[in-house]
Chains A and B, each alone.
Chain A
Amino acid sequence: AQSVTQLGSHVSVSEGALVLLRCNYSSSVPPYLFWYVQYPNQGLQLLLKYTSAATLVKGINGFEAEFKKSETSFHLTKPSAHMSDAAEYFCAVRNRSNFGNEKLTFGTGTRLTIIP
């Protein structure tokens, strides 16, 4: 069974500093990987996805993530944090080998706080 681990349930960074949110997956084959963001009282918004094209994936709002098979990781980064980035971030995985199975498995989330 596939799973996702997000290291750090809370991360605080200063405005303008680098944002790094960690995600490691466990899967028998490299899966599809996603990062979602959730603002208070909102649903989930897709930031970016990895689907076996380029290993460095660029998303919205200046975020990017790099798929590293050797490390089974898909960490999310942003060079310079903005106050509007304060939210909860979820890493998710879907098994690519089971085509047609649309189930996403989510990590436990990382709450990002931006310090002015």
Chain B
Amino acid sequence: KAGVTQTPRYLIKTRGQQVTLSCSPISGHRSVSWYQQTPGQGLQFLFEYFSETQRNKGNFPGRFSGRQFSNSRSEMNVSTLELGDSALYLCASSLTGTKYYGYTFGSGTRLTVV
């Protein structure tokens, strides 16, 4: 059974540019969440999608956005990149409706803003 797949693994972008990250959840998982991991702030929740709807959002500026497609794949977009956006972005999927399951994480996309 394939795990959570995140692409690309590494990205280098310039300040002011925008970036799109992709996440393919485990087959059958309908909930996809995104997290940002930095040395200073740790793991912070960005947003969560279920059935193409954003159900929950963390405390991030509007430059951070996301969406989910009908096949549960998700993308997140960061516009007008800042140096502080450099981080490991992790995607997690879960079997919503079966609340006894944990969350399966992908290997992440490491974004470097220069």
- Asked if residues B90 and A43 are in contact (CB atoms below 8 Å), the reply is yes
Mark each residue of chain B from 75 to 102: 1 if its CB lies under 8 Å from any CB of chain A, else 0.
0000000000000001010101001111
Q: Is A44 in the interface zone, CB < 8 Å from B?
A: yes
Bound Cα distance A113, B71 (Å): 41
- Asked if residues B31 and A102 are in contact (CB atoms below 8 Å), the reply is yes
Q: Is B103 in the interface zone, CB < 8 Å from A?
A: yes
For A45, A99, A104, A109, the residue with the greatest tally of chain B CB atoms inside 10 Å of its CB is A104
- Asked if residues A90 and B103 are in contact (CB atoms below 8 Å), the reply is no
- Asked if residues A104 and B55 are in contact (CB atoms below 8 Å), the reply is no
Q: Which residues of A contact B103 (CB under 8 A)?
A: 34, 46, 102, 104
Q: Is A49 in the interface zone, CB < 8 Å from B?
A: yes
Q: Which residues of B contact A101 (CB under 8 A)?
A: 48, 55-56
- Asked if residues A100 and B33 are in contact (CB atoms below 8 Å), the reply is no
- Asked if residues B45 and A44 are in contact (CB atoms below 8 Å), the reply is no
Task: Give the dominant DSSP class at A's interface.
Answer: loop
Tell me whether A43 and B108 are in contact in the complex, defined as CB-CB below 8 angstroms, given that A102-B94, A106-B42, A109-B42 are known contacts.
Answer: yes
- Asked if residues A43 and B99 are in contact (CB atoms below 8 Å), the reply is no
- Asked if residues B56 and A102 are in contact (CB atoms below 8 Å), the reply is yes
Interface size class of chain A, counting residues whose CB lies under 8 Å from the partner chain: 20 to 34
- Asked if residues B42 and A103 are in contact (CB atoms below 8 Å), the reply is no
Q: Which residues of A contact B106 (CB under 8 A)?
A: 43
- Asked if residues B107 and A43 are in contact (CB atoms below 8 Å), the reply is yes
Q: Which residues of A contact B108 (CB under 8 A)?
A: 42-43
A103's partner among B6, B33, B101, B102 (CB-CB below 8 A) is B33
Interface residues of A in 85-112 (CB under 8 A from B): 90, 96, 99-109
Q: Is B27 in the interface zone, CB < 8 Å from A?
A: no
- Asked if residues A99 and B99 are in contact (CB atoms below 8 Å), the reply is yes
Q: Is A55 in the interface zone, CB < 8 Å from B?
A: no
5 contacts between A and B (CB under 8 A): A43-B4, A43-B106, A46-B105, A100-B55, A102-B55
Listed in ascending order, the chain B residues whose CB lies under 8 Å from chain A are: 4, 6, 31, 33, 35, 42-43, 45, 48, 50, 55-56, 58, 90, 92, 94, 96, 99-108, 110
Listed in ascending order, the chain A residues whose CB lies under 8 Å from chain B are: 32, 34, 36, 41-46, 49, 51, 90, 96, 99-109
